[in-house]
Amino acid sequence: MSESKVAIITGGARGIGKAIAETLARRGCDIIVADINLELAEATAKEIAAATHQKTLAIQVNVSDSASANAMVERTLAEFGKVDILVNNAGLTRDKLIMRMDEADWDIVLDVNLKGAFNCSKAVVRPMMKQRYGRIVNISSVSGQAGQTGQANYSASKAGLIGLTKALARELASRQITVNAVAPGFVLTALTQDLSDELKDAILKATPLGRMGKPEEIAYAVAFLASDEASYITGQVLAVDGGMVMM
């Protein structure tokens, strides 16, 4: 990957987002760690810069707010002159059975996970179209492909991301901008460490490879789709789930 590539990773301060930022930096990208938690984003950016000697920048962003997403891209352009890669990774969960799920639980998950990807994608499209190059990678989920009990909001948001991916892929292809999605299975992060042993056992039984994924395994898939080697791939969903969902 060219040293000149500039990548924005939303939700990049920890977990899968941090692994993506680290992996892209090791492949020669300058990195914008964009996160709602500025202090954590700054720590991650410094860590990546020290380890890879790539340029990094931490930006606080609320992806559900279009003005915040626009400001993130404007600052990136001011600091780096362009943006080549956007990874829409920011997301959250509010898991409840639908009988107990209130409107606020639905709204916040859709606002961050789906509207957030729309806001950030819209913000980068103009500069990417101008330079006739871009890579947008959306982080979906097996829950968006197969559904998950207690995740009506999360599953809907991640399924929506797949639709957004395919629509944008068609819209932007003529300007050599590819748009793809990665659909992780269950990955070992701070969010999954708190799962009950019963649920972990059920997950492992449903996963043919018999284990949870690692954040870097998701990051490798993202790095491929963001690379020039994937220039003829667009509108696709790459499942990185140990075989849990076979489409």
Residues with active-site annotation: 154
Residues 124, 57 contacting (CB under 8 angstroms): no
Of 139, 134, 156, 138, nearest in space to 147 by CA: 156
Residues 139, 92 contacting (CB under 8 angstroms): no
How many whole angstroms separate alpha carbon 217 and alpha carbon 207?
A: 15
Is 246 in a helix, a strand, or coil? coil
**Ordered alpha helix ranges (H), the chain:** 15-26, 38-52, 66-80, 103-110, 116-131, 142-146, 152-172, 197-206, 215-225
How many whole angstroms separate alpha carbon 2 and alpha carbon 28?
A: 6
How many whole angstroms separate alpha carbon 234 and alpha carbon 244?
A: 23
Q: Show the tokens assigned to 103.
A: 């409107």
Of 186, 205, 193, nearest in space to 148 by CA: 186
